[in-house]
Structure 1
């Protein structure tokens, strides 16, 4: 509640309680603060109306009530605060129209009414406030056109009317706002051509006109705005060619003209925009080649030219854009080869050349770009064999699909040269076998001939000695032929042969695939006796059998009821590496959360979510206690047995896929998954216990809120979103639909908030400030003030491998 005792501090001049958790109403006693000049209560949970007693604060210059839950109409008595310079009522639930009394605030410099439910028209009275420097009416439901009298606000520097429902054209009087630096008219129903007066504003730095219905040729007048840094014209109906004079805008940082009707070529003069970091021209009708002058854009981070009619080869000059982070050329009509020079893009993280007409072979040196995290070459005319290093690093077949002449791993299509090599090997093997059989036959014939001669001499009595028994010709022949049962899997508790496993998976048929990942495929194996297991087939091994067996034996000793325990393994030629686990019939956490959000499957209540989170924490804490770092904690790696108990999977597999620990430490395999990887792990590429704690924190917040990390934008992740809801006091916004029935007065509500706080502790920006997983288990066990939860901290009672 608002601290009413503050009303007794009558000599107070400034009161700032912003960013707290105050709720309830703003008491009428606030009118007792007669000397008050600044009242800042932003980002709380205050509700109700603004008390009329506030007009007693006649010296009030700043009134900031932004980010609360005030409702009703904006009070007309606010017009009596004649000393007011700053009025901020944004982010509330005000409705109705803007009161005319606000037009009497002659001293007003900043007015913020954004993010409310205001309707009607914008009053002419507001256009007489000559001292106004910032006007923000965004995200409301006004109607009509932008008032032509807006040009009277000669001191205006910031004008934000985005997403307000205005229609018609931009009035020419905007050209009178000579001090204007920021103009945001995006997401409206504005139409027509831009007025020529618009291009005479010398201080304009930001122009946002996206998602409107503007038409006509793309105005050349923007090139006269020498201070322009941000220009976004996306999703309009501009046509014609991109003016070459845009090359004069050397201060331009962002140029976005996507989803228009632009035609012609990309002007080479854009290479003069030395400050450009983002260039978006997708979904137009551009044609011709990509100009090589783009190489001069040394600061370029994102280039998006998708969905056009571009032709020719990707120019070698692009390889000089060393700061380039993302390159999207998807769904064009590009012709030619992927140039060898792409490998010079040393900072490239994303390469997407899908859905074009690229031809030729994939350059082998693409695998040398160490920073590359994502690649998509699908739907082209590429041919030849996928470079081995690239295929093993990006082993998802979909990124190479729809290239009819492409072959090699990970595609299930062998190349002609490989088939020829196998054929030569087969012919050589048959030749050697035939030669061996011929030599064996000759030896047998010689032996028989010698025996025949010896018997003949015996009969003739040549030796004159006592007859001796002839040696047995085949006394030892055939010994050591071995067991006929075939090679066996090494099982820690029972015996299974490789032949039985092949039959149980139908020769590793695609229909039996349970999951795919960077550690190979996981198959469901149903044996003849009814036993069901999970068989992981690792990618073709880089390590020898001895190293693999040693590491598998060690991994088999890691046992805990919340981990997927290794039950056996197989290592044999040619490079076949198998791992045997218990079969988890109830899928993974990602699927379970998705079913719960749609209420088509299991609806997860709070106790179930808490048990799942606690199980994951216990399993991860046990891994850390035996000095194993997981490296990729995410919902897809949390599996459920028949009793819906959580089991953490995909750990300790790096040692089984690399030859030596030294190679494991120098592996360039990406760490973690998008949305769950910690900032420092994404930067260094090193998996640590602290990074595991961060990933667990993200998973915990997803379990509690039902929000996936990938749902958020680059500017707001799930952690920032949760913190913002807490600051606003909008706790109910955090509840996943399956938890909406939690009573705010119940113990479960308190337990839920404690779980949220644990998630925020785990995702602290500084790794040293994050708790250990042992502490996390302790805190999560303390979250439940209800019935006791059975302990799962002890390892399973299954015996360790011999």
Structure 2
């Protein structure tokens, strides 16, 4: 050990003197020395570099090192995904024969070594997915003749892309995506005629895309998405005949799609979405017959959908949403038999629903095509179909059953009429069905119960009548049921009580009668149950969600009673029961009485109840006595279990008794003084969430902590997995995150110990007027920025929060936000996303739409959506969803509508009126709307959000930096 410390202290001197020493002692190896110097600048928590020994003659047997068998010199260094941290030091410069350097998916920080590319044999550099920062020197690439592949993706590099990059004549692949590069694109990049792949997406690059791209005759892939490029799509792109993938989405490009692009006959992926492109969709688009994905959404295209789209027989994804397209969908699209996702929402399309989608007329066409080419089955393969927000009319064909793979169907906000087809029940893969805002009539078909995979069913704002079918109880996965503003009658079926996953129910503004089934109180996940403005009567169910149901959710039902409607239910007093002593259960009509001298006995029902109650009380007293004895015994064991051996770092309880648990504190604090008492004391409870209650207690040194008592033991992993995940969460530290200070484990009880934040939740400050203090604009902006920083830190640690809401953002004594409840999903087994959304994302209005579609991957962008809702909540002071007397107001829709009508300032919290800067508030609200875009890829990541917030607060500085 001492020898190693002395060696490391002399590293710097050895690097300088090595050439001289080598001439005296040829046995010393440049590569051994260089790698040991490199290792000295790293932290290796997983001990992945334990085989690296400075006493070895050669490093060729070290992990991650590969040598040239002829020269015995290091040729490759591959250390991907080893959780290494620290910086990239000078030691690598000793590896003169290095061909490949790959350090991706680690936690490396600091700037890049300016001499790295001077390793004249270096061909591959991959430093992606780290936390490297700073600018790249302009002359960084001056000596890179051998470099063939460069990836610096997913770091935090800033400044301009060095113009010297054009010196790397052998480059075939460049990936600088997901950084913070600014300025214009160096025109010299088009001089790299060997380039096959170019990815500069997810930066802040601006200006026009330089001309000259036609020189890149070998280019297969180009991605310039998520930048700030303006001007037109370069005309020369049509000369890159080998292009397979083109992505210019999420920029500010304008003008028409250049006609030269029709030459890209090998292209299978084309996305120009979220720009400002105009004109008609060109008819030649159908000549790109290799296309599998075509996305032109979010532009300003007009006119009709070209008939030639039907030539794209390999097409799997087609998205033309959010444009100004008109007319009807061409029948030729019946030939697109491989479509998996089709989105024409938010256009001006009209006419009847295309029959080819539902197979009524298209079956013959498809059949003929099948005979001719053998490429198609008997029905489309659609999994996602969104035709919402158009003006389609006509009937929904019952032949929709041909879409057996359908998982997501949205036909909302059209002019469809007629009945709801019963054949929806045959779609066994269907997760989301949205038919809201049409003119549908008739009853809800009983066959709907056959769609047992349904998670979300929406049919609000139609003219549906009849009863809610009992068969709805077969849809056991259902989480959202919205049937409001129809003409439904009859009673609420008791079968709904079987839907244990229900979170949101809205049956308001109908003509429902009868009483609510008492079993509804047993639904464990309910967050909203709106039955307002019906003709319901009787007492509300007792227990569960209904103990705290909002009065607005039950208003407009004059005959309902209970505390929620502030109306006492009338007592029911039946007539007295008369027991005739002259009759007997054993006697027959006309028989003589067995006891003719017995007196008549009359007992009222109240007397019988009193007798029964007395018996129950006696039994109850005995039972409570026994339970108290057990609880005291259990409490003493729990209190004995909550002991701690103090020390540095992780500190494990020495207890090994089967009846006791294991307590680990990450900060070495002393044990609890009142911990067990607090867990059993209702007065110490701070609140309850989807996974358990939170209590406040005090450590022996007077340090307060918050303890989450998990109530989902059946979902918790094994002790080994649980402890491993908790310890990972315990290492995450950020000034805007609630620190996890320890945990407690037994097989039946799990506790998480957090720092105590005294200022209360953001929810209370916004909606309950915590202490009579309302938040100023500066305080609100700082809360938004701090929350964004905390989420960015979590995402860098590969943790998705899943549960962003105002009650999970706490405010400390200095006004700083601290986000809590992160990482809980890591403590549970691999759950279905809909179980996660019911347990974790339980707050109404914050849940990203991708939770409802199995085909869409859940990523950090679901946190971005929740953050966007939170931003709007902070600025407006309104809850994400609010139920009014005759309407349901969704915050995102309200603000978006106000923005479109030019009255966004009217949405600002009234308590801020006259005391906020409009040039900050309005951009922040727009940022919130961008974060809540329906398509996850259209939302920014949290790093971009932070940069935007910085520009909003200090616009002049941002302009100087980008200039």
- The reply to whether TM is greater than 0.5 is yes
Question: 1:387: Cα distance to partner?
Answer: 2.4
Distance 2:532 2:354 in 1: 37
Q: Determine the C-alpha separation between the residues in 2 that align with 1:639 and 1:392.
A: 33
Say if 1:101 and 1:333 are closer, same or farther in 2 by CA, change over 3 A: same
What are the superposed Cα offsets for residues 136-171 of structure 1, whole Å, 9 maximum, x if unpaired?
111111111110111111111111000110000011
- Alpha-carbon separation, structure 1, partners of 2:166 and 2:243: 21
From 630, 634, 651, the equivalent of 2:807 is: 634
The 2-side partners of 1:645 and 1:562 are apart by: 18
- Larger relative contact order (Cα-Cα within 8 Å, sequence gap ≥ 6): 1
Residue 463 of structure 2 is aligned to residue 289 of structure 1: no
1:334 deviation in Å?
0.6
**Are the structure 2 counterparts of residues 636 and 408 from structure 1 closer, same or farther at C-alpha, using a change threshold of 3 Å?**
farther
Any conservation in 1 of the 2:762–2:806 contact (CA below 8 Å)?
Answer: no
Q: Find out whether 1:80 has 2:295 as its counterpart.
A: no
Aligned equivalent of 2:204: 69
Q: Deviations over 1:701-752 (max 9, x none)?
A: 97999799957799979xx999964544x63324596x5489799xxxxxxx
Tell me whether 705-714 or 376-385 shows the greater mean CA deviation: 705-714
- Counterparts of residues 663-678 of structure 1 (less than 5 Å): 674=843
Aligned to 2:243: 108
CA-CA distance at 1:112 after TM superposition: 1.0
Specify the alignment match of 2:749 in structure 1.
Answer: none
1:270 equivalenced with 2:424 (yes/no): yes
Partner SS state of residue 234, structure 1: coil
Give runs of aligned pairs for residues 650-689 of structure 1, distance below 5 A. 674=843
| Structure 1 residue 388, shift from structure 2 partner | 2.4
* Cα pair 1:39 1:62 within 8 Å, conserved: yes
Superposed, which structure 2 residues align to 1:253-264 within 5 Å?
253-264=407-418
Aligned length: 537
Aligned with 2:468 (options 300, 314, 329) = 314
Structure 1: distance between partners of 2:847 and 2:248: 37
Provide, for residues 280-326 of structure 1, a one-character-per-residue CA deviation record: whole Å limited to 9, x for no partner.
00011111111111111121111001111111111011111111111
| Structure 2 gap ranges (5+) | 1-134, 360-378, 576-605, 607-679, 687-694, 707-758, 788-803, 819-837, 852-862, 881-891, 893-927
Instruction: Tell me the residue number matched to 2:230.
Output: 95
Give the whole-Å Cα distance in 2 for the aligned partners of 1:547 and 1:65. 57
Q: Are 1:671 and 1:677, in contact at CA under 8 Å, matched by a contact in 2?
A: no
Q: Are the structure 2 counterparts of residues 376 and 238 from structure 1 closer, same or farther at C-alpha, using a change threshold of 3 Å?
A: same
Report if the CA contact (8 A) 1:275-1:297 is conserved.
Answer: yes
Q: Which sections of structure 1, spanning at least 5 residues, go unmatched?
A: 422-427, 429-545, 565-585, 614-630, 649-668, 683-693, 746-802
Picking from 311, 326, 349, the partner of 1:191 is: 326
Bigger CA radius of gyration: 1
Distance 1:6 1:343 in 2: 67
Structure 1 residue 731 corresponds to structure 2 residue 950: no
Q: Whole-Å Cα distance in 2 between the matches of residues 140 and 601 of structure 1?
A: 37
User: How far off its partner does 1:645 sit?
Assistant: 8.2
Which secondary structure state, in structure 1, belongs to the residue aligned with residue 188 of structure 2? helix
Please say if residues 561 and 647 of structure 1, whose CA atoms lie closer than 8 Å, have aligned partners that are also in contact. no
Counterpart selection for 1:349 from 474, 497, 503:
503
What is the distance in 1 between the residues matched to 2:535 and 2:149? 69
1:604 and 2:778 aligned? yes
Instruction: Say whether the 8 Å CA contact 2:412–2:435 is kept in structure 1.
Output: yes
Let me know the Cα RMSD of the aligned residues: 4.7
Report deviation, 1:591: 7.5
Are the equivalent residues in 2 in contact too, given 1:283–1:308 (CA < 8 A)?
yes
1:164-179 to structure 2, matched below 5 A, reads: 164-179=299-314
Aligned to 2:560: 406
Q: Give the CA deviation at 1:199.
A: 1.3
Q: Give the TM-score taking structure 1 as reference length.
A: 0.59
2:149 and 2:251 map into 1 onto residues whose CA distance is 26
Give the TM-score of the pair, scaled to structure 2: 0.50
Distance 1:608 1:248 in 2: 53
Q: Structure 1 residues 332, 562: CA separation in 2 closer, same or farther (over 3 Å shift)?
A: farther
Q: Are residues 240 and 24 of structure 1, via their aligned partners in 2, closer, same or farther at CA, if it must alter by over 3 Å?
A: same
Structure 1 position 670, deviation (Å): 8.8
How far the C-alpha of 1:269 sits from its partner, in A, is: 1.2
The residue that corresponds to 2:91 in the other structure is: none
**Among residues 319, 324, 338, which one is paired with 1:203 in the alignment?**
338
Go from structure 1 to structure 2 and tell me whether the alpha carbon gap of 1:647 and 1:263 turns closer, same or farther (over 3 Å shift): closer
Q: Which residue of 2 aligns with 1:509?
A: none
State the Cα distance separating 1:392 from its structure 2 match: 5.0
Residue 155 of structure 2 is aligned to residue 36 of structure 1: no
Within 1, Cα distance between the matches of 2:193 and 2:957?
43
Measured in 1, the distance between the counterparts of 2:220 and 2:183 equals 24
Counterpart position of 1:2: 136
Once the two structures are TM-superposed, the CA of residue 592 in structure 1 deviates from its matched residue by 5.8
CA contact (8 A) 2:245 2:267 kept: yes
Aligned-pair CA distance for 1:193: 1.1
SS at 1:388 equivalent: coil
- Post-superposition shift, 1:5? 2.6
Q: 1:13 to 1:68 in 2, by over 3 A?
A: same
**Cα distance in 2 for residues equivalent to 1:76 and 1:549:** 70
Q: Is the 8 A contact 2:272 2:296 kept in 1?
A: yes
CA contact (8 A) 1:391 1:409 kept: no
2:551 paired residue among 387, 392, 397: 397
